[in-house]
Amino acid sequence: MPKKIPMRMCVGCREMKPKKELLRVVRTPEDEILIDFTGKRSGRGAYVCPEENCLQKAVKQRQLDRALERTISNEVIQNLSRQIAYSRPKEETPRE
Ligand SMILES: [Zn+2]
């Protein structure tokens, strides 16, 4: 029996995808907006494909703002897109 795969919708392309293939953007209780690589942070979350395109779409259509109930600043978006770039390729995550 195949296991049920949890699906989530990308706020950019609005496609349903397995949760594992998406990045979770979270607004922490401290009101920080970041990418939750563990998937375990508490706070309001939104899912987006690990694609710059989807992030930009989500931003332009204000889907990310809506999902997180915050206006997302350019600075935060740049941060997120940097984190998305770092998340690929998956085998070799640069460390600072
Ligand atoms: Zn997407």
Neighbours of 68 (CB within 10 A): 20
Model pLDDT, residue 58: 96
User: Which superfamily does 7-86 belong to?
Assistant: YlxR-like (3.30.1230.10)
- Measured in angstroms, how far is the CA atom of residue 41 from the centroid of ligand 1? 21
The pTM (predicted TM-score) of the whole model is: 0.82
Q: Where are the domains of the chain?
A: 7-86
- Measured in angstroms, how far is the CA atom of residue 9 from the centroid of ligand 1? 8
Residues contacting residue 34 through CB under 8 Å, at least 6 positions apart? 25, 26, 28, 79, 80, 83
- Measured in angstroms, how far is the CA atom of residue 42 from the centroid of ligand 1? 22
Model pLDDT, residue 91: 55
Stretches where the chain sits below pLDDT 70 are 88-96
- Measured in angstroms, how far is the CA atom of residue 58 from the centroid of ligand 1? 8
